[in-house]
């Protein structure tokens, strides 16, 4: 066997990424309706991150995504209060509860939270629907990050319109390249305020390399989607990618460090 | 899988040399491998091709596709299995959905019984058979190791009840990315049912490797998933019954 680069060696031995900046830009807290997540307690998430060497996790509540945003967002804030250096909440904004919009934004403002999550699961409203306007207007004034659930063109095409209109929002495309890779390439090439996030249960061969080629390693952020799936799988996609260790470091954490600063 | 595939995406490897290079990079010492022609063109042709390609590699072990013997496209069960074992083919694979046949007894029963008699494992890619068919397969052939590959991480509500009944049902790890899943399955006493697998070249083998190396397991458990259980299954093949 040829001598592997340092980060690949970590993958081979399963040793924590000590001395590296590793930030998970996409994870969750909570359970999910259509499958069993056996280990989803806060302590499980902290332990999984620790085995890999993930220092910071940015996550949203699945209760918030599926049902009650107010309750779920408060769960995320409580988790942050308990682990202030490790877990950082995305505030979930629900367009199909417009009566909650002001309260959701106030929650973020009070907590000085500068990252939001939007997801069309269940509500099926396109991301350029006017019911998202309160969020986009607020996020544009603060330069907030919005993590967007995507699964291809259906979500990426409308969010590109948002990126055009609200140039100060930092838009992070979740599950980048999972399907219809070409639209992710278009999004990141045409918009300076769009970044790509890596998590996907489909560990497509060569995808990390293609994401880096789309807009440069500076535009790709590591995410796990934990506890939906295993961070043990997601880290391997980056550690064994056919890119330099320097680029892997950008993907694993240096880019997120800048984006969330 | 190696060979040129109908659904290959640009940049995905397909050759023997690429497979061996990626295995080397990822620290994978041995692999069970089938040929794309067995799935995408003609099982009999693909079966012969995989054996021709891997002959002498030592680190690759063949896996042949099955069909209903009545169609006459593959030899009769005992002759088929004798040829398999003579060529170091240590597993069979079934694509009933893709190849338009039934996994029921009236279709492939004698072949399944022959595989069971020799303890040759049968691989069934997820989606090629539904859970009712898999349950029937495991129940009617309790000594046949059934390996469901490419199973996603959302299937525990099906698997856990099945594992209470059947110890001959195995899954591979390639898409089985359950959060802390291996430690959970170890705690449930069913870790032996999980085998390392990559679904190469569709997926990155390194992602499957780190599911094992970073898993919250004891070292003996890690070795079990990494390869010892599959080796045990292969060692269990009853060549003495030839």
CATH of the domain at B177: 3.20.20.140
A16 occurs within a structural domain = no
- The terminus-to-terminus CA distance of chain B in angstroms comes to 28
What integer best gives the mean pLDDT of chain B? 97
Q: Which of A234, A238, A240 to mutate to test the interface with B (most CBs of B within 10 A)?
A: A240
Helix (H, G, I), strand (E, B) or coil at B142: coil
CB distance B11–A13 less than 8 Å?
Answer: no
Range of the domain at A160: 6-11+23-256
B193 occurs within a structural domain = yes
CB distance B177–A210 less than 8 Å?
Answer: no
In chain B, where does DSSP find H-type helix? 16-26, 36-40, 43-54, 77-86, 105-118, 131-140, 156-165, 181-187, 205-213, 219-223, 229-235
CA neighbor of A154 nearest in space, from A130, A125, A133, A115? A125
Taking the C-alpha atoms of residue B64 and residue B73, their distance in angstroms, rounded to an integer, is: 13
With tokens 């307690």, the residue in question is A41
- Successive 10-residue mean pLDDT values, chain B, 242 residues: 94 97 98 98 98 95 98 96 95 98 98 98 98 98 98 98 98 98 98 98 98 98 98 97 86
- Across the interface, of B13, B25, B154, the residue whose CB is closest to A240 is B25
CB distance A205–B210 less than 8 Å?
Answer: no
Chain A positions contacting chain B at CB under 8 Å are 1-2, 4, 8, 11-14, 34-40, 44, 47-48, 51-52, 201-208, 210, 226-237, 239-241
B4 occurs within a structural domain = no
Here the CATH number for the domain that contains residue A218 is 3.20.20.140
pLDDT of B28 reads: 98
Q: Strand B146-149 relative to strand B122-125: parallel, antiparallel, unpaired?
A: parallel
**How many domains is chain B built from?**
1
Residues 6+ apart with CB under 8 A from A81: none
Taking the C-alpha atoms of residue A136 and residue A143, their distance in angstroms, rounded to an integer, is: 10
Q: pLDDT over 90 for what percent of chain A?
A: 96
CA neighbor of B203 nearest in space, from A240, A22, A97, A194? A240
pLDDT of A5 reads: 87
- pLDDT tens track for A90-110: 999 999 999 999 999 999 999
CA neighbor of A237 nearest in space, from A260, A215, A206, A194? A206
H-run or E-run covering A47: helix A42-52
pLDDT of A2 reads: 55
Count the neighbouring beta carbons within 10 Å of the beta carbon of residue A258.
12
pLDDT of A180 reads: 98
Taking the C-alpha atoms of residue B231 and residue B239, their distance in angstroms, rounded to an integer, is: 15
Average pLDDT rounded to a whole number, residues A218-245:
98
pLDDT of B242 reads: 82
Within 13 Å, how many C-alpha atoms sit on residue B88's CB side?
15
Average pLDDT rounded to a whole number, residues A244-258:
98
Taking the C-alpha atoms of residue B73 and residue B157, their distance in angstroms, rounded to an integer, is: 37
Please give the structure tokens belonging to residue B164.
């209470």
- pLDDT tens track for B30-81: 999 999 999 999 999 999 999 999 998 999 999 999 999 999 999 999 999 9
B32 occurs within a structural domain = yes
B109 occurs within a structural domain = yes
Which chain B residues have a beta carbon less than 8 Å from that of A5?
none
Sheet holding A194-197, edge to edge: A91-92, A115-118, A145-149, A170-174, A194-197, A220-221
Which chain A residues have a beta carbon less than 8 Å from that of B209?
11-12, 236, 240
Q: Which of A233, A237, A240, A252 to mutate to test the interface with B (most CBs of B within 10 A)?
A: A233
Range of the domain at B66: 16-241
CA neighbor of A128 nearest in space, from A157, A169, A170, A98? A157
CB distance A35–B153 less than 8 Å?
Answer: yes
**How many domains is chain A built from?**
1
pLDDT at A1 over 60: no
Q: Does the beta carbon of B207 lie under 8 angstroms from any beta carbon of chain A?
A: yes
Residue B92 vs residues A10, B26, B61, B121, B145: alpha-carbon distances, Å: 35, 25, 11, 6, 10
Taking the C-alpha atoms of residue B162 and residue B169, their distance in angstroms, rounded to an integer, is: 8
CB distance A48–B180 less than 8 Å?
Answer: yes
CB distance A233–B216 less than 8 Å?
Answer: no
Cβ atoms of B62 and B51 within 8 Å: the answer is yes
Average pLDDT rounded to a whole number, residues A44-61:
98
- pLDDT tens track for A186-196: 999 999 999 99
Q: Which of A53, A54, A205 to mutate to test the interface with B (most CBs of B within 10 A)?
A: A205
A1 occurs within a structural domain = no
CB contacts < 8 Å between A and B, how many?
142
Taking the C-alpha atoms of residue A38 and residue B40, their distance in angstroms, rounded to an integer, is: 37
A175 occurs within a structural domain = yes
- Nearest-Cα distance to chain B for A163, in Å, is 30
A36 occurs within a structural domain = yes
pLDDT at A4 over 80: no
With tokens 């052939």, the residue in question is B141
- pLDDT tens track for A172-224: 999 999 999 999 999 999 999 999 999 999 999 999 999 999 999 999 999 99
Q: Does the beta carbon of B15 lie under 8 angstroms from any beta carbon of chain A?
A: no
With tokens 């506890």, the residue in question is A227
**What does pTM read for this prediction?**
0.97
Taking the C-alpha atoms of residue A237 and residue A244, their distance in angstroms, rounded to an integer, is: 13
B67 occurs within a structural domain = yes
């Amino acid at each position: 066997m040829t001598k592997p680069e340092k980060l690949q060696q970590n993958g081979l031995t399963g040793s924590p990424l000590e001395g590296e900046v590793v930030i998970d830009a996409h994870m969750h807290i909570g359970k999910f309706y259509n499958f069993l997540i056996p280990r989803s307690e806060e302590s499980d998430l902290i332990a999984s991150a620790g085995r890999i060497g993930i220092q910071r996790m940015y996550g949203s509540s699945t209760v918030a995504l599926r049902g009650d945003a107010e309750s779920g967002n408060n769960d995320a804030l409580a988790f942050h209060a308990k682990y202030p250096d490790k877990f950082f909440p995305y505030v979930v904004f629900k367009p199909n509860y417009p009566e909650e919009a002001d309260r959701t934004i106030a929650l973020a403002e009070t907590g000085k939270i500068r990252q939001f999550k939007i997801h069309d699961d269940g509500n099926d409203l396109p991301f350029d629907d006017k019911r998202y306007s309160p969020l986009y207007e607020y996020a544009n004034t603060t330069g907030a990050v919005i993590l967007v659930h995507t699964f291809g063109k259906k979500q990426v095409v409308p969010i590109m319109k948002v990126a055009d209109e609200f140039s100060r929002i930092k838009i992070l495309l979740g599950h980048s390249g999972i399907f219809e890779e070409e639209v992710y390439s278009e999004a990141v090439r045409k918009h300076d305020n769009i970044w790509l996030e890596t998590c996907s249960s489909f560990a497509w061969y060569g995808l990390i390399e293609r994401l880096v080629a789309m807009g440069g390693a500076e535009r790709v952020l590591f995410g796990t989607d934990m506890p939906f799936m295993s961070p043990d799988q997601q880290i391997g996609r980056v550690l064994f990618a056919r890119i330099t260790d320097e680029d892997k470091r950008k993907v694993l954490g240096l880019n997120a460090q800048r984006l969330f600063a | 899988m190696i060979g040129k595939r109908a659904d290959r995406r640009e940049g995905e490897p397909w050759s023997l040399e690429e497979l061996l290079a990626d295995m080397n990079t990822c620290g994978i010492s041995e692999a069970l491998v089938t040929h794309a022609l067995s799935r995408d063109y003609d099982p009999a042709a693909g079966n012969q091709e995989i054996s021709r390609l891997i002959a002498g590699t030592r680190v690759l072990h063949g896996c042949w596709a099955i069909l209903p013997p009545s169609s006459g496209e593959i030899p009769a069960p005992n002759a088929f299995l004798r040829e398999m074992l003579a060529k170091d083919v240590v597993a069979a694979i079934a694509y009933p959905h893709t190849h338009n046949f039934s996994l029921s007894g009236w279709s492939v029963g004698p072949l399944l019984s022959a595989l069971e008699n020799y303890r040759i494992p049968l691989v069934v890619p997820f989606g090629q058979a539904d859970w009712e068919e898999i349950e029937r397969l495991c129940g009617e052939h309790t000594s046949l190791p059934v390996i469901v590959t490419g199973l996603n991480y959302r299937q525990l509500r099906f698997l856990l009840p099945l594992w209470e009944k059947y110890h001959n049902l195995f899954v591979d790890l390639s898409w089985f990315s359950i959060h802390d899943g291996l430690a959970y399955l170890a705690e449930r006493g069913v870790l032996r049912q999980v085998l390392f697998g990559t679904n190469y070249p569709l997926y990155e083998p390194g992602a499957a490797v780190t599911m094992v190396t970073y898993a919250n397991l004891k070292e003996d458990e890690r070795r079990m998933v990494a390869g010892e259980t599959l080796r045990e299954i292969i060692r269990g093949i009853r060549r003495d019954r030839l």
